[in-house]
Amino acid sequence: MSASEPNSPAFSAATPGGQDPPAQPAHDSRLIVALMVIGSLAAGAIHLAVIPGHLAEYRPFGWFFISLGIFQIGWAALLASDAEEPDRRLVIAGVGVNAAVVVLWVATRTVGLPIGPDAWEAESYRFADSLSTLFEFGVVVAGSVLLAGYRLDLKRAAAIAVAVAAVSTVLTAAALDTLAPDVPEMDMPMDMDH
C-alpha cells in the first residue's frame, strides 16, 4: 500500500503524535438557504401587495403579480422545509425565476414592455419595486453560491443572517407601508376627561 492511497497511514485521521486533528470549522448550507428564503418571502409579500393596482391597470399584469407572489412564497416554503440539503432542481428553479424577474424589471425601467396600456414606455423607479428587485437579486446571488458548492462558516454567517433578516424585515415593512392606501385620520378630541 503506497502513501498516496486513501487507506494508507498518510491519510490517517490522527496526527503524527497520535492525537486527533483539530476540529474543522462548521460549515453549513442552511444559512445560505435562510437568506434565500428571507429574500423570496419579502419579494413575494411586496408582489402580493401591489396586485390591486396592477389588476386595475391591466389584468395580465395583475395576474402576473399574483402568480409571481404565490410562486415566491411557495418556493420559499419548499426551500425552508428542506434547508439542510435542498434539492438542486428547486434551487435552480428559484434562481432562474428570480433572475428572469430582475431582467424584466430592468427592461420595464429602461425601455418598457411591448404590451399593456403604456407599451414601450419606461416606468419610474419606486422604493417598493426597487427593494423587491434587490431581494430577488439576493436570491440569485445566494442560490448561485449554493449551487457552486460554497458553504458558509457558521460563526461568521450567523451574524450576517441575523442582520440580513432584521434589515429585510424593516425594509419590507417600510415598502409595504408605502403601498398602503391612504387612511383618513380620525378627529380625536384633545380633552379625554369627558
Residue-wise pLDDT for 49-69, tens only, equals 999 999 999 999 999 999 999
Task: Show the CA angle centred on residue 52, arms to residues 48 and 55, nearest 5°.
Answer: 105
The pLDDT of residue 154 is: 64
Give me the phi and psi of 108, to 5 degrees please.
Answer: -70, -25
Residue 186 grid coordinates: 380620525
Give the integer Cα–Cα distance in Å for 103 and 107: 6
Closest to 97 in 3D by CA, of 137, 124, 50, 61:
137
Ramachandran region of residue 87, left (φ > 0), alpha (ψ -120 to 50) or beta? beta
Whether the per-residue pLDDT at 194 is higher than 50: the answer is: no
Average pLDDT over residues 71-83: 95
Provide, rounded to the nearest whole percent, the portion of the chain with pLDDT above 90.
48
Return the residue matching grid coordinates 445566494.
142
The pLDDT of residue 1 is above 50: no
Work out the number of other CB atoms within 10 angstroms of the CB of residue 68. Answer: 22
Q: Which three cell numbers stand for residue 185?
A: 385620520
> Taking Cα atoms as reference points, which of 128, 110, 116, 131 lies closest to residue 64?
116
In 3D, which of 122, 127, 97, 117 has the Cα closest to residue 107? 122
How does residue 9 score in pLDDT terms, banded at 50, 70 and 90?
very low
Query: Is 1 a member of any domain?
Result: no
4 located within any domain: no
Residue 184 lies in a domain: no
CA distance 126 to 134: 12
Structure confidence at residue 170 (pLDDT): 73
Q: Is residue 16 part of a domain?
A: no
> What does the pLDDT read at residue 164?
72
Q: For residue 60, is it within any domain?
A: yes
- pLDDT class of 83 with cuts at 50, 70, 90: confident
How do residues 110-133 score in pLDDT, each as one tens digit? 999 999 999 999 998 888 888 899
Query: How many structural domains comprise the chain?
Result: 1
The mean-pLDDT minimum among 49-58, 60-69, 98-107, 152-161 falls in: 152-161
Residue pair 147/91 in contact (Cβ under 8 Å)? The answer is yes
Q: What is the pLDDT of residues 17-36, one digit of tens each?
A: 556 554 444 456 888 898 89
pLDDT beyond 80 at 104: yes
9 assigned to some structural domain: no
Take residue 22 and report the three cell numbers written for it: 483539530
Q: What residue numbers bound the domain in which 123 lies?
A: 26-179
Q: How far is CA 155 from the centre of its chain?
A: 21
Residues 6+ apart with CB under 8 A from 188: none
In a domain, 48, yes or no: yes
What's the pLDDT at 173? 73
* Cell numbers representing residue 174 in the block: 417600510
Residue 11 lies inside a defined structural domain of this protein: no
According to the model, what pLDDT value does residue 29 have?
82
